[in-house]
Amino acid sequence: MGRYWLLPGLLFSLPLVTGWTTSKCLVTEGSQLPLVSRYFSLCPKSKLPFLAACFSVSNLTQTLEAVPRTVEGLCLGGSVSTMLPDAFSAFPGLKILGLTLHLSRLLPGALRGLRQLRDLSFLDTPGGKKSLFLPLDAFGDLISLQRLQISGPCLDKKAGVHLPPSLQWLSVQFSCLQDAGELAGMFPNLVQGSSSRASWTLKMLDLSQNWGLKMASPGSLQGLQVEILDLRGTQLDAVAVKDLGLLKLDVLYAETATAELAAETVAHFELQGLNVGRSKLGSISQEALASCHSLNTLGLSGTGLTKLLPGFLAAMPRLRRLDLAGNQLKSTMLCMNETGDVSGLTTLDLSGNGLRVLPPAAFSCLPHLRELLLQDNQLLSLEGDLFQDLQQLETLKLGRNPLLNLGKNWLAALPALTTLSLLDTQIVLSPDPGFWGAKNLHTLSLRLPAHPAPAVLSLPMYLTSLELHVASGTRHWALFPNIFPFLETLTIKGTGLKLGVQNASEVFPALQKLSLLQNSLDAFCSQGTSSIFLWQLPKLQSLKVWGAGSNSRPCLITGLPSLQELKLESLQSITQPRSVQLEELVGDLPQLQVLQLSSTGLKSLSAAAFQRLPSLQVLVIYSEEDLVLQDSLGEYSPQMPRYIYILQSTLACQCDNAWMEPWVKQSTKTYIHIRDNHSCPGEVRVSHRDSLTSFLWDHCPQTLELNLSLASSALVLLLIALPLFQEARNTWIPYLQALFRVWLQGLRGQRNEGRRFLFDVFVSHCRQDQGWVIEELLPALEGFLPAGLGLRLCLPERDFEPGKDVVDTVVDSIVSSRTTLCVLSGQALCNPRCRLELRLATSLLLASPSPPMLLLVFLEPISRHQLPGYHRLARLLRRGDYCLWPEEEERKSGFWTWLRGRLGRP
Ligand SMILES: *[C@@H]1O[C@H](CO)[C@@H](O)[C@H](O)[C@H]1NC(C)=O
Ligand SMILES: *[C@@H]1O[C@H](CO)[C@@H](O)[C@H](O)[C@H]1NC(C)=O
Ligand SMILES: *[C@@H]1O[C@H](CO)[C@@H](O)[C@H](O)[C@H]1NC(C)=O
Ligand SMILES: *[C@@H]1O[C@H](CO)[C@@H](O)[C@H](O)[C@H]1NC(C)=O
Ligand SMILES: *[C@@H]1O[C@H](CO)[C@@H](O)[C@H](O)[C@H]1NC(C)=O
């Protein structure tokens, strides 16, 4: 019997169309990760091609069913207390797995099959002291595992878990560790004696933030070799590390009571690096220094140092990097010893020390210095010869100093300088081009003074990167020179900067990246009737506008032929909030791939905007309220960006959004993720629906406001073709033939107008509704008067000739029937085959130039948005061509009256 269904041959071979949206998981490609990084904070940073983050996971099996099998990174948050065996067996290619699930146990085999996994994290509330039970061979299959992070949960001291030999980074943080030696009980093969391995080399052992860790049982980590050991945020003193029995240690991050204690450890391991930042040292004695000769890197930030002893650098001949930030050094004494000894130091950080004066010879013993950080001090002036010995200095940061005066030619002494920061200083700029003596200077950050002259902004010509901060004021600056041929990156921060730039593409021919921060965009916009972005830069690839809320009209960003990435953030004025449509913000941007909008006042998205962004791949919307997605997007769907993220935003509780739910579920081209957790007024949350869905169900259903607006036949054909190519890839040829036949017969039919129809009514219905057709419809239509109408009905399963081609038969039957009657129910619409039948039926009817009458009978209320091909239906149906089968007996006679009326037999 099955072969007599309407077009069954077409239907069996169809792939089931499922959209790849999952409400709980956010899927992204690695290249887009920075755009949605806040949702991947659970996962270690990664450069994988394809990742997913899932939230509020309570049933892992169920959640993972919706995740594409090809993801290589998976970050899961929620609460799942027990992880069952083979939890991830569907993801054998997984490389990174981050679990914030409040797990209490893994059953054996939970991580089975993850042979490519490199990175595994178990995270839980810091200090929650929740225990996590791992079976002995939990990591047995993880032969590629390089990093294991257990942050938050507490492992049993005698867990005895075997670590895979490939492991290089081990972190046990925020846990219940009290004794570093407990690690040997948790992971016995880490230490000597318990396995065949002689000793294990870890690149990093991170025990930081174990607030209760204060002991180190002597010899407990016998034989372990560690390159970096991190003990920050614990009570374990640096000196205790000496006795753990480590075979090797290169770098130690720890806190310590006194410098002497740390120095003992340095001497014991001949450490290359020591960082005791935030320890309360106060001073460092000669004795301590004497033990530190092996150090290459020394971190002493925030240790309360007030002075350095003479000979500080001489004691550490191998020292290259020295961090003295955040201390109370009033002047540096690094080079006070006049013996002429020089240090090999390359990086020196003296930021945040309250330094007021630098003596002329302050850096005279540091001829190899490449990076000097002096920001956040109290320096007022710099003497001309201060830097004369720094022939190799490349980076100099002087920001956030009250600097007023710089000696003439002060930069001439720095021939290698490439990067200079003068942000937040009071420097009076000289219009003299010689002011920027350094020939190689290419990266400059500068604050422009508010008022005093000059009005000429003279800058080094060979800059590649420039950051300008502008104190408030709206004066015009003329630029010198007239052209910056190499400038690629320009950042302007502050309100009201007016650069006297008539033609930006002439002045900045190479500009690729432009950021306008806290800036009134007005200065870069035309002020006519339409407000358009003026800087037409042919090579600009990236534009970011952040915080420009003064203009009541949006500035249209358009006509930038190379622009690939556009970020518009916080453009909404607090005092005069406005509503904008996407097409008011972005115009023709042929190469744009990434568009991120955040707090712009965006209210509506329609196809019109996307038509001008043909290359768009990712659209990210953050913090927008009451968005309406116009249903024109549905029709435009195949050309929509591949990824649409609507995050921390709300969709308007309006029926205009009702079309969207089925679209989001079925869209195969576009991945749409909407995180909207607001409540529509008066809606109570139903467990499996969000409030918006409930609202739409309650307020925008039943009334089928079908609208007959006949479009051009070309558009109709296009609409017919789209679902065909999407859904019936393998079977479109017979279907097109069918369409063609309908069209031909329709033409013939037009010629012999008065032809006779074989049938009065062709009844299209699904198996689910067969009962109703046989019990209710047949007697009423086929029966004889007065109860019935005496009509000739065509029912596919009854009247089709066995053996005849089904498509032909359907086409013939439709064409030889005066009227086509479609019977619809929610049950039928959930069945993909029935949905397609309706789609095909409407397409067939539309293709015919003189469509026969189409009637719809709804066996239950159905939202128009649930109807496939609604827009096509709308073109076929007139008001009154559809009716709802009433449940109440007394209203049924009304239904039959309607049907008789439509069939012309009152
Ligand atoms: C989780 O979901 C799967 C598949 O949907 C189901 O079979 C299973 O019973 C669910 N488990 C629980 C504990 O609800
Ligand atoms: C200079 O350094 C040497 C060796 O480190 C030391 O002996 C001498 O006392 C220092 N001189 C001064 C003036 O501090
Ligand atoms: C700006 O300069 C470019 C390059 O010199 C030129 O092609 C363009 O016509 C100029 N535009 C205007 C408005 O002057
Ligand atoms: C969504 O909001 C409800 C209350 O309106 C809250 O209970 C729930 O935790 C929120 N969910 C998320 C994922 O933010
Ligand atoms: C029908 O469509 C036309 C044009 O598209 C529109 O102006 C009209 O408001 C629509 N009517 C209904 C009832 O939707």
Ligand 1, atom 3, residue with closest C-alpha? 62
Helix (H) or strand (E) holding 28: strand 25-29
Residue 708 Cα to ligand 5 middle (Å): 8
In the prediction, which pLDDT does 765 show?
78
In the prediction, which pLDDT does 386 show?
85
For residue 63, the ligand closest to its alpha carbon is 1
Residue 315 Cα to ligand 2 middle (Å): 10
What is the helix, strand, coil percentage profile of the chain, to 5?
25, 20, 55
Cβ of 309 below 6 Å from ligand 2:
no
Q: How is 611-638 classified by DSSP, letter by letter?
A: HT-TT--EEEEES--SBEE-THHHHHGG
Which atom of ligand 4 lies nearest, measured to the CA of 56? Answer: 13
Site to substitute for ligand 3 among 506, 508, 532, most atoms within 8 A of C-beta: 506
Cα angle: 383, vertex 388, 390; to 5 degrees: 120
In the prediction, which pLDDT does 865 show?
61
Give the burial class of 844: count Cβ atoms within 10 A of its Cβ; 0-12 exposed, 13-18 middle, 19 or more buried: buried
Q: pLDDT digits over 172-185, tens only? A: 999 999 999 999 99
Cβ of 333 below 6 Å from ligand 2:
no
521: which 2 tokens?
Answer: 């965009």
632 Cβ neighbours under 8 A, 6+ residues apart: 606, 607, 608
In the prediction, which pLDDT does 709 show?
28
**Residues 398, 381 contacting (CB under 8 angstroms):** no
Q: How far apart are CA 607 and CA 426, in angstroms?
A: 50
Ligand 5, atom 9, residue with closest C-alpha? 707
In the prediction, which pLDDT does 7 show?
30
65: left (phi over 0), alpha (psi -120 to 50) or beta: alpha
Cβ of 483 below 6 Å from ligand 3:
no
Q: How far apart are CA 396 and CA 879, in angstroms?
A: 76
Q: How many CB atoms lie within 10 A of CB 243?
A: 15
CA dihedral 745, 819, 1, 847 (to 10 degrees): 40
Helix (H) or strand (E) holding 847: helix 832-847
**Residues 678, 650 contacting (CB under 8 angstroms):** yes
Which atom of ligand 3 lies nearest, measured to the CA of 509? Answer: 4
Q: pLDDT digits over 679-723, tens only? A: 787 766 666 666 777 777 677 653 333 332 222 233 334 344 444
Site to substitute for ligand 2 among 337, 342, 364, most atoms within 8 A of C-beta: 337
Site to substitute for ligand 5 among 632, 700, 704, 709, most atoms within 8 A of C-beta: 709
Residue 206: how many CA atoms within 13 Å on its side-chain side? 15
- Give pLDDT < 50 ranges for the chain: 1-20, 702-732, 747, 750-754, 906
Cβ of 655 below 6 Å from ligand 2:
no
β-bridge partners, 229: 205, 252
192: which 2 tokens?
Answer: 């000597």
In the prediction, which pLDDT does 94 show?
95
Q: Report strand pairing: 498-499 vs 476-480.
A: parallel
For residue 502, the ligand closest to its alpha carbon is 3
Q: Sketch out the chain's domains with CATH numbers.
A: 329-414 (3.80.10.10), 754-903 (3.40.50.10140)
Q: How far apart are CA 524 and CA 784, in angstroms?
A: 79
Residue 113 Cα to ligand 1 middle (Å): 21
In the prediction, which pLDDT does 826 show?
74
